Amino acid sequence: MLKTLLYINEDLASSIALRYMAYLNKVVPIALYVGHVEEADEKEQTGTGWVRRAWEDGVASNGKRLVDRMLRTENIDCPLAGRPKIFVGDRETEIIYELRSGNYDLFAQGYLNTADPDSFFSFISSSLYAKAPCPILVVKNLTVSKKCALLCADSVSPEVLVEKSLPIIGASSLKIDIVYYKFKELEDLKILDREEGGSQLRETESLLAKAGQSVDGVTVITGTPEQTGDFLKEYALVASTFPGRKSMRMQTLANSLASVLLVR
Amino acid sequence: MKILVALDTKDYSRKILKNVARLAENTLADIIFLGVQEGGTKPAKSMEKALLKYQQDVYSHFSPDESPYADFSSQKWQEKGPGDWIMTFKGMKEFRLRIRTGSVAKQTIAVAAEVESDLIVIGCGSKFGCEWDGEMNVPLRIAKDAPCSVLIVKHVQKAGEIVSILDQSVVSQDSLEMVNQLVTLHDAGLKIVGVKEKKGGKKDKIEKRMVDLLKYYNDRGISAWIKLLDSKDVKDYVTHSSREAIVALWMGGKESLVKKLFSRSMVDKLLETTRSSLLILR
Condensed to tens digits (0 to 9), the pLDDT of residues A145-188 reads: 999 999 999 989 999 999 999 999 998 999 999 999 999 998 88
Which of A14, A19, A72, A113 best probes binding to B when mutated, by most B CB atoms within 10 angstroms? A113
Per-residue tens of pLDDT for chain B, all 282 residues: 899 999 999 999 999 999 999 999 988 999 999 999 998 899 999 999 999 999 999 999 998 888 899 876 667 899 999 999 999 988 899 999 999 999 999 999 999 999 999 999 999 998 888 889 988 889 989 988 999 999 999 887 778 899 998 887 777 888 888 899 899 888 899 999 988 876 655 567 888 888 888 888 888 888 899 998 888 888 888 888 888 889 998 886 666 777 777 777 778 888 887 878 899 888
Give the pLDDT confidence score for residue A57 in this predicted structure: 80
Query: A227: burial class by Cβ within 10 Å (0-12, 13-18, 19+)?
Result: buried
CA distance, residue A222 to nearest chain B CA (Å):
18
User: B228 and A257: CB-CB below 8 Å?
Assistant: no
Asked which of A59-73, A95-109, A110-124, B266-280 is least confident by mean pLDDT, the reply is B266-280
Q: What pLDDT does B65 receive?
A: 83
Flag whether residue B226 sits within 8 Å of chain A, measured between CB atoms: yes
The residues of chain B that CATH labels 3.40.50.620 are: 2-153, 161-281
CATH H-level, domain B2-153: superfamily? HUPs (3.40.50.620)
Query: If DSSP states are collapsed to H, E and C, what string results for chain A?
Result: CEEEEEECCCCHHHHHHHHHHHHHHHHCCEEEEEEEEECCCHHHCCCCHHHHHHHHHHHHHHHHHHHHHHHHHHCCCCCECCCCEEEECCHHHHHHHHHHHHCCCEEEEECCCECCHHHHHHHHCCHHHHHCCCCEEEECCCCCCCEEEEEECCCCCHHHHHHHHHHHHCCCCCEEEEEEEEECCCCCCEEECHHHHHHHHHHHHHHHHHCCCCCCEEEEEEECHHHHHHHHHHCCEEEEECCCCCCHHHHHHHHCCCEEEEEC
A114 to chain B: which residues are within 8 Å by CB? Answer: 227-230
Residues of A in contact with B210 (CB under 8 A): 12
Check if B210 contacts A (Cβ < 8 Å): yes
Per-residue pLDDT, A259: 96
Contact A207, A122 (CB under 8 A): no
What's the pLDDT tens digit per position in A71-96? 998 888 899 999 999 999 999 999 99
The per-residue pLDDT of chain A, averaged, comes to: 93
Q: What does the domain layout of chain A look like in residue ranges? A: 2-110, 142-263
Q: Which of the residues A10, A12, A138, A235 would you substitute to probe the B interface, choosing the one with the greatest number of B C-beta atoms within 10 Å? A: A12
Identical fold, A2-110 and A142-263:
yes
What pLDDT score was predicted for residue B200?
A: 54
- Please tell me the distance from the alpha carbon of residue A123 to that of residue B231, in angstroms, as a whole number: 21
A215 part of contact set with chain B, CB < 8 Å: no
Q: What percent of chain A has pLDDT over 90?
A: 81
Is pLDDT above 70 for A6? yes
> Looking at domain B161-281, which of 3.40.50.620, 3.20.20.70, 4.10.91.20, 3.30.110.40 is its CATH number?
3.40.50.620
Q: How far is CA B119 from CA A6, B45, B102, B105, B169, in A?
A: 43, 27, 21, 15, 19
The reported pLDDT for the residue numbered A176 is 97
ipTM more than 0.90? Answer: no
| Contact (CB, 8 A) for A147 and A195 | no
Q: Which residues of A touch B227 (CB under 8 A)?
A: 113-115, 257
A12 interaction partners in chain B (CB closer than 8 Å): 207-208, 210-211, 214, 226
Do residue B225 and residue A144 have CB atoms under 8 angstroms apart?
no
pLDDT at A177: 98
* Domain A2-110 CATH class label: alpha beta
Higher local confidence (pLDDT), A196 or B156:
A196
pLDDT value of position A237: 96
Between B211 and A129, whose confidence is greater? A129
Q: Say which CATH superfamily domain A142-263 falls into.
A: HUPs (3.40.50.620)
Contact B228 A19 (CB under 8 A): no
